[in-house]
Structure 1
């Protein structure tokens, strides 16, 4: 299971196709909050269960969606881990 820390703030978040979808804006109690980029499609927002986004808000990133986490990037999976 992926655990986020304050070091991850500012990391870019990419979908499985390596398209940048946002940036980690904050980490609270091990949960990363992603500020979506303006090009993030409604379909992907719905898939990640982010509902109707407000561009000024950040959304929780569920660990089961994370494929890889390194020093400055988060790569998402095509579907959540079971």
Structure 2
């Protein structure tokens, strides 16, 4: 439904706390402690790095079957 609205020229803004779901958007604002730390495309390496930093590197962002996913990191980097 969201993609259909965007295709019609509408702007959709949503607040999501499920990181893997949020990564399916076109752009993302990464926030921490009420402050915007980064804004960029969801497929951009800088966005992935900002997300990993906000989560203290407990996650890593990887592409899985064409979709960006936030996966738990099993060991510290």
TM-score, reference length from structure 1: 0.28
Bigger-Rg structure (1/2)? 2
Larger relative helix fraction = 2
Higher relative contact order (CA 8 A, sep 6+): 1
